[in-house]
């Protein structure tokens, strides 16, 4: 019921709705409405109450804990359980630990700050307190280890859609795991797994987003390549809105993958918003560097390139710079 009260207030954000109208619409007494409003206020929602006018939602807290997200989450499984930390070394490390101990599919670990945030190949992920979105999803698809990279493409598509829908910023995807705003990195994705030889036992997909982060405070070498959503929008954005949208978009695309066994839908989104395709790219894979033209993505989310001899090649993973 509190969820419905909040939803109605949000729908009318900035304008008054009377206690009577709320109670008629939701089919409960005005006293019940008043109780829910008070609870919401205690949770940090700024709600103005004026006699004869009613209630007006003025501001929402930007909390990423289980309670705050649960109130507005529209998913079936993803994010139904949220483990929230103030400070943790890495949400991926925690997610892998709880997954190995049996955590259910859809569990999400979120931290306000990471002291040992990780990128690929042991690189560091800068994760300052309170301003970013540092989260990891636990998944249990029945797939082969070689398919794990598909989850990165699903996550890239979900994050890009969420940023675009919530902020209007034209987020793009640099294959395979970077989300870009104005040519700079706003988000990185790290997919890890626990697996037997032929079957995956769990996948953890870590998503790091510079939401309201002050990039000027980053170390010099990261500052040059990074940006934040705040810098694109011009003011702080609601991390909660972004998280809610990511979880919903991710669930839709992930379930589509589970049912159809194909990530075609995600790949279409990755292609539509790709900043890689059509460009000359440098691909670094272990000790090999190739300069080539990025031509297309396969239905499985691999990159097709045309090398300098004019031959087409399929790249499964690697470091790409445009
Ligand atoms: C990635 O690796 O981009 C994956 C990052 C995944 C981070 C999330 S946060 C939640 C979860 N928990 C974790 O511990 N990790 C995941 P890669 O493609 O290897 O890029 C790493 C490089 O990005 C670094 O070497 C830096 O150059 C740069 N970098 C570091 N922090 C950054 C930041 N906050 N914003 C933009 N770029 C950053």
Query: Which pLDDT tens digit goes with each residue over 212-241?
Result: 999 999 999 999 999 999 999 999 999 999
Ligand 1 nearest-atom number relative to CA 114: 14
- Nearest-CA residue for atom 36 of ligand 1: 226
Would you state the pLDDT for residue 285?
76
Would you state the pLDDT for residue 284?
84
Pocket test for ligand 1, best of 88, 89, 119 (most atoms within 8 A of CB): 119
DSSP string, 70-138: HTT---SSTTSSEEEEEEES-HHHHHHHHHHTTPPTT-EEEEEEESS-B-GGG-B----TTTSEEEEEE
Distance 54 CA to ligand 1 centre (A): 46
Place of tokens 């445009």: 322
Report the SS3 class of residue 236: coil
Would you state the pLDDT for residue 265?
98
| pLDDT, tens only, 177-198 | 999 999 999 999 999 999 998 9
- Nearest-CA residue for atom 21 of ligand 1: 119
In the predicted model, is pLDDT for residue 286 greater than 90? Answer: no
Distance 282 CA to ligand 1 centre (A): 19
CA atoms within 13 A on the CB side of 269: 21
Q: Label residue 287 by pLDDT band (50, 70, 90).
A: confident
In the chain, the domains with their CATH numbers are: 2-59 (1.10.10.10), 66-272 (3.30.930.10), 280-321 (2.30.30.100)
The least confident of 40-44, 104-108, 294-298 is: 40-44
Q: Label residue 61 by pLDDT band (50, 70, 90).
A: confident
Burial of residue 276 (number of CB atoms within 10 Å: 0-12, 13-18, 19+): buried
Instruction: Please state at what angle helix 30-42 crosses helix 2-11, rounded to 10 degrees.
Output: 80
Q: Which two tokens stand for residue 249?
A: 């978009």
Would you state the pLDDT for residue 318?
77
In the predicted model, is pLDDT for residue 30 greater than 80? Answer: yes
Between CA 79 and CA 87, with CA 82 as vertex, the angle to 5 degrees is 135
Q: Which two tokens stand for residue 40?
A: 């919401």
| pLDDT, tens only, 110-150 | 999 999 999 999 999 999 999 999 999 999 999 999 999 99
Between CA 182 and CA 193, with CA 187 as vertex, the angle to 5 degrees is 150
Would you state the pLDDT for residue 43?
87
Q: Which two tokens stand for residue 55?
A: 């209630």
Q: Which residue from 302, 299, 269 is spatially nearest to 163, judged by alpha carbons?
A: 269
The least confident of 64-73, 146-155, 210-219 is: 64-73
Would you state the pLDDT for residue 27?
95
Give the pTM: 0.92
Would you state the pLDDT for residue 319?
79
In the predicted model, is pLDDT for residue 322 greater than 90? Answer: no
Ligand 1 nearest-atom number relative to CA 120: 19
Q: Indicate whether residue 167 lines ligand 1 (CB < 6 A).
A: no
Instruction: Round to the nearest angstrom and report the end-to-end CA distance of the chain.
Output: 50
Distance 207 CA to ligand 1 centre (A): 9
Find how far residue 219's CA is from the centre of its chain. 24
Q: Indicate whether residue 191 lines ligand 1 (CB < 6 A).
A: no
ipTM of the complex as predicted:
0.99
Backbone angles phi, psi at 157, to 5 degrees: -65, -45
| pLDDT, tens only, 290-316 | 899 999 999 999 999 999 899 999 998
- Nearest-CA residue for atom 11 of ligand 1: 206
Backbone dihedral region for residue 106 (phi beyond 0: left; psi -120 to 50: alpha; all else: beta): left
The continuous run of DSSP H or E covering 314 comes out as strand 312-315
Query: 199 or 317, which is more confident?
Result: 199
Pocket test for ligand 1, best of 90, 108, 125, 318 (most atoms within 8 A of CB): 125
Distance 161 CA to ligand 1 centre (A): 20
Would you state the pLDDT for residue 290?
86
Q: Indicate whether residue 222 lines ligand 1 (CB < 6 A).
A: yes
- % of the chain at pLDDT higher than 70: 100
Would you state the pLDDT for residue 235?
95
- Nearest-CA residue for atom 3 of ligand 1: 188
Distance 285 CA to ligand 1 centre (A): 18
Q: Indicate whether residue 55 lines ligand 1 (CB < 6 A).
A: no
Q: Indicate whether residue 266 lines ligand 1 (CB < 6 A).
A: no
**Alpha carbons 261 and 311: distance in angstroms, whole number:** 29
Find how far residue 38's CA is from the centre of its chain. 31
Pocket test for ligand 1, best of 188, 191, 204, 242 (most atoms within 8 A of CB): 188
Q: Label residue 1 by pLDDT band (50, 70, 90).
A: confident
In the predicted model, is pLDDT for residue 321 greater than 90? Answer: no
Secondary structure of 122-188 in the HEC alphabet?
HCECCCCCCCCEEEEEEECCCCCHHHCHHHHHHHHHHHHHHHHHHHCCCCEEECCCEEEECCEEEEE
| Average pLDDT for the chain | 95
Ligand 1 nearest-atom number relative to CA 221: 27
Query: 225 or 43, which is more confident?
Result: 225
Q: Is the sign of the CA dihedral 59, 64, 69, 71 positive or negative? A: negative
């Amino acid at each position: 019921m509190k969820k419905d009260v909040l939803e109605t207030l949000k729908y009318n954000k900035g304008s008054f709705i009377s206690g009577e109208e709320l109670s008629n619409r939701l089919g409960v007494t005005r006293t019940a409405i008043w109780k829910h409003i008070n609870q919401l206020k205690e949770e940090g929602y700024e709600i103005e109450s004026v006699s004869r006018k009613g209630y007006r939602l003025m501001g929402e807290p930007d909390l990423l804990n289980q309670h705050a997200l649960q109130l507005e989450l529209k998913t079936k499984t993803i994010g139904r359980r949220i483990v929230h930390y103030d400070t943790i070394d890495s949400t991926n490390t925690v997610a892998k630990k709880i997954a190995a101990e049996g955590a259910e599919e859809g569990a999400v670990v979120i931290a306000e700050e990471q002291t040992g945030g990780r990128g690929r190949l042991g690189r560091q992920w800068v994760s300052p307190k309170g301003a970013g979105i540092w989260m990891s999803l636990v998944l249990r698809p029945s797939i082969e280890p070689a398919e794990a990279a598909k989850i990165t493409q699903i996550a890239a598509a979900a994050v890009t859609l969420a940023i675009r829908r919530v902020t209007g910023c034209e987020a793009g995807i640099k294959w395979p795991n970077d989300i870009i705003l104005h040519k700079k990195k706003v988000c990185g994705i790290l997919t890890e797994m626990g697996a037997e030889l032929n079957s995956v036992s769990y996948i953890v997909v870590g998503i790091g987003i510079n939401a309201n982060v002050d990039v000027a405070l980053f170390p010099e070498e990261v500052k040059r390549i990074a940006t934040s959503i705040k810098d694109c929008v011009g003011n702080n954005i609601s991390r909660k809105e972004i998280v809610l949208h990511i979880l919903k978009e991710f669930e839709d695309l992930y379930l589509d993958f589970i049912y159809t066994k194909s990530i075609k839908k995600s790949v279409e989104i990755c292609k539509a918003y790709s900043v890689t395709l059509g460009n000359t790219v440098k691909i670094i894979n272990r000790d090999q560097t190739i300069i080539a033209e990025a031509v297309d993505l396969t239905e499985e989310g691999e990159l097709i390139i045309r090398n300098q001899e004019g031959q087409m090649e399929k790249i499964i993973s690697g470091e790409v710079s445009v």
